[in-house]
Amino acid sequence: MNESEKQSLDGEGYLLLENFMSEELLEAVRRRIEEIFAEEGERAGAEFKQEPQSRRLANLVNKGEIFQQIIIAPKVLEYVSYVLGPRFKLSSLNARSANPYSDWVQPLHCDAGAIPDEKGYWVCNVIWLLDDFTTENGAIRMVPGSHKWGVQPQAVLPDPHAPYTNEVLLTARAGTAAIMNTHMWHGATANRTSSPRRALHSFYCRWDKPQQQYQKKLLSPEVQRRLSPEMRKILALDDPHNDELSSEKSGASGFLR
């Protein structure tokens, strides 16, 4: 990482890596995403959540080796480590496709309702742009610097759906990867175009926090047997502490609902 990149993550809370995906990787991910949408139909995304006026997929590590390659991309892990520290794990791997002509606007939020604690930041999301993000097709709005405020937007805003004074849109070409400290306030906007707006979300959390999607439970035994030691580590499959964290979260809040 260079100093400019560090300053962007420290000060703004995000960093854009343009042309990060090769054309071959971009097309392969698009193709596999659409295959899964077709296979799962109305069930798509049900392992985690479904959303109005959008298509969702969840548990993608279980659904293709191409996704397993993505979550351990070395350069991405370097940026994630800068945000979260040296010990972290994949929390979930999802896809979201904003439907054409949708008027649904996500409220400003912090991922997992996360507020930095005494150890610092504990959530970081990597957004893989599978289509161009434009001002018209549902790009993510962000409030730069809000990752440092230590408060959820729902706690202080009368309407988190409403435009925020200092928000900016994440606009970039397909193939870009956006590193986001998602303590930063953000949310997707409406897609007013005739085409879907697709993205892959590889969401990481610090080692001492529960995964958004408990990978050990969701991944099939066949997939788990094929995984490399590096993959098992990033998924926390052999970490008893992660098992305890996930069990506590499941019992407390209906985890995996």
The 10s digit of each residue's pLDDT in 156-176 is 999 999 999 999 999 999 999
Average of pLDDT values for 111-117?
A: 94
**Is this prediction's pTM over 0.85?**
yes
Q: Which of 185, 111, 173 is nearest to 144 (CA)?
A: 185
Q: Does domain 3-251 have CATH number 2.60.120.620?
A: yes
Q: Is the pLDDT of residue 250 over 70?
A: no
Length of the chain: 257
- Start-to-end CA span in the chain (Å): 38
- Determine the pLDDT at residue 121: 98
Comparing CA positions, the residue from 55, 33, 16, 64 lying closest to residue 175 is 16
Name the DSSP class of 117: B
CA 175 – CA 180 distance, rounded (Å)? 16
Two structure tokens written together for 241: 């502490």
Confidence of residue 256 (pLDDT cuts 50, 70, 90): very low
Q: Give me the residue label for tokens 């937007």.
A: 153
Please give the pLDDT value at position 255.
27
Cα gap 204→80, rounded to integer Å: 8
Per-domain residue ranges for the chain? 3-251
* Neighbouring residues of 174: CB distance < 8 A, sequence distance ≥ 6: 21, 26, 129, 130, 131, 132
pLDDT greater than 60 at residue 253: no
Q: In 61-187, which residue ranges form alpha helices assigned H by DSSP?
A: 65-71, 74-84, 153-156
Structure tokens at 205: 């959390």
Residues 231, 164: Cα–Cα separation, whole Å: 39
DSSP state, 101? T
Q: What is the CA radius of gyration of the chain?
A: 17
pLDDT at 220 (0 to 100): 96
On whether the CB atoms of residues 183 and 110 are closer than 8 A, the answer is yes
Name the band, by pLDDT with cuts 50, 70 and 90, for residue 109: very high
